[in-house]
């Protein structure tokens, strides 16, 4: 069928173009999109930092309605409303251990933008596009997605607010609740107050942490963090960050959402004994941390990374929806909506930091 899709090309050009969508394959469904969030991962893919071949149809926070089923699909039906999260094979050791973010096929399924057999569901002039990004490619009016990354949604949930649960909000919340797993008495710091960081702050508030410190270079973002559950803010101005943290640390736990090497090193050294730093931000390639093994040994501190907050979307998305329904996850404070035709403005606003979470409404 003919569809409209936002095709990213070299030079960061994105145009909405007519493409051909092939029918869903085994274990796949065809989805009519209602909304799709835009994530920094989409910007990285456009910039060539993830190895995603261009031209590509990106987008990996889609919400829509199933229009057709591929062979072998039994757990979903035509008319089901779904959230599309990240792709996973469903049968490797990580998937069988409820850790799909560490799937053996994760890089191919999510960043390469093709099925594992190398095929793709969208064509232009009979030539396949990179169009299985995160097993969905949801910057389009319609797409084909794997059922392994689908979560059913009730009809009353607002698509523009729920879409970010697929990646950005999921990463921040799960990084706190499932990885950091703080105690009520813990003191926690979050570095970087974009979508992931603000979600981490809301999660720390839900966990009941005694102190939650929001750190960012933009005062408007740390002020928003205070409204979302942070108890203190630090506006970072380069070399002053370490000094500022000395007056309010040490911390039992911290989450870095910046990927900045100096920030990660400063955050690590702001931990107390046996404190844990979880790195959720993506650092530029070729950068290395300068942390002495002696610091690890004598402090008992832990430094670890996380993909998607170690979440299993089918388990964790319903939990987040429960928090949203209970008024504990005010997603409207993060989301700015754009018409699909305004995608370039939305991308620019995310890149400049003018908005927290842009969401396309199809």
Q: Catalogue all structural domains in the chain, each as residue range(s) with its CATH number.
A: 2-156+330-361 (3.90.180.10), 172-307 (3.40.50.720)
As a whole number, the mean pLDDT across the chain is 95
What is the rounded average pLDDT of the residues 314-343? 98
What per-residue confidence (pLDDT) applies to 71? 97
Q: What's the pLDDT band for 240 if we cut at 50, 70, 90?
A: confident
pLDDT digits (tens, 9 = 90+) for 100-119: 999 999 999 999 999 999 99
Percent share of the chain, pLDDT over 90: 89
Q: Minimal CA–CA distance to 242: which of 219, 271, 222?
A: 271
What is the rounded average pLDDT of the residues 148-170? 97
- Which sign, positive or negative, has the C-alpha torsion 63, 64, 66, 71? negative
pLDDT digits (tens, 9 = 90+) for 56-80: 999 999 999 999 999 999 999 999 9
Q: What's the pLDDT band for 238 if we cut at 50, 70, 90?
A: low
pLDDT digits (tens, 9 = 90+) for 9-50: 987 779 999 999 999 999 999 999 999 999 999 999 999 889
pLDDT digits (tens, 9 = 90+) for 214-234: 999 999 999 999 999 999 999
Percent share of the chain, pLDDT over 70: 99
Query: Residue 207 above 70 pLDDT?
Result: yes
Q: What's the pLDDT band for 239 if we cut at 50, 70, 90?
A: low
Q: Are 355 and 349 in contact (CB under 8 A)?
A: yes
Measured CA to CA, the distance from residue 130 to residue 351 in angstroms comes to: 22
Q: What's the pLDDT band for 304 if we cut at 50, 70, 90?
A: very high
Give the contacts of 53 (CB within 8 A, at least 6 positions apart).
Answer: 112, 113, 130
Q: Minimal CA–CA distance to 273: which of 301, 297, 303?
A: 301
CB atoms within 10 A of CB 65: 18
Measured CA to CA, the distance from residue 35 to residue 59 in angstroms comes to: 10
H helical segments located in 19-142: 40-46, 93-96, 106-107
Measured CA to CA, the distance from residue 107 to residue 133 in angstroms comes to: 10
Cross-sheet strand order for the sheet of 251-256: 232-235, 211-216, 187-191, 251-256, 271-279, 302-305
What per-residue confidence (pLDDT) applies to 244? 87
């Amino acid at each position: 069928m003919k569809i409209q899709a936002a095709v990213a090309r070299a030079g960061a050009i994105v145009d909405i173009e007519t493409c051909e969508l092939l029918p869903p394959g085994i274990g796949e469904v065809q989805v009519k999109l209602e909304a799709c969030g835009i994530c920094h991962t989409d910007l990285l893919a456009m910039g060539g930092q993830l190895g995603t071949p261009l031209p590509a149809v990106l987008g990996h926070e889609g919400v829509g309605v199933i229009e057709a089923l591929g062979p072998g699909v039994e757990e979903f039906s035509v008319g089901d409303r779904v959230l599309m999260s990240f792709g996973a094979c469903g049968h490797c050791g990580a998937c069988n251990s409820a850790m799909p973010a560490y799937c053996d096929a994760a890089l191919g399924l999510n960043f390469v933008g093709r099925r594992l057999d190398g095929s793709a569901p969208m064509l232009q002039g009979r030539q396949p596009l990179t169009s299985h990004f995160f097993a969905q490619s949801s910057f389009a009016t319609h797409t084909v997605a794997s059922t392994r990354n689908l979560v059913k949604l009730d009809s009353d949930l607002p698509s523009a607010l729920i879409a970010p649960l697929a990646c950005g909000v999921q990463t921040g919340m799960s990084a706190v609740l499932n990885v950091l797993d703080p105690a009520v008495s813990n003191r926690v710091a979050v570095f970087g107050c974009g979508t992931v960081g603000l979600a981490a702050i809301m999660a720390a508030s839900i966990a009941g942490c005694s102190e939650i410190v929001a750190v960012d270079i933009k005062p408007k973002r740390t002020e928003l963090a205070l409204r979302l559950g942070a108890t203190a803010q630090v506006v970072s101005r380069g070399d002053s960050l370490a000094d500022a943290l000395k007056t309010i640390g040490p911390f039992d736990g911290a989450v870095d959402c910046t990927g900045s090497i100096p920030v990660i090193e400063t955050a690590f050294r702001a931990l107390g004994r046996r404190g844990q730093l979880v790195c959720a931000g993506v650092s530029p390639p070729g950068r290395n941390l300068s942390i002495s093994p002696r610091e690890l040994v004598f402090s008992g501190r832990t430094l670890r990374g996380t993909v998607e907050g170690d979440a299993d979307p089918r388990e964790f998305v319903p939990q987040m929806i429960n928090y949203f329904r209970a008024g504990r996850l005010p997603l409207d404070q993060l989301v700015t909506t754009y018409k699909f035709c305004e995608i370039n403005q939305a991308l620019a606003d995310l890149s400049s930091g003018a908005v927290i979470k842009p969401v396309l409404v199809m």
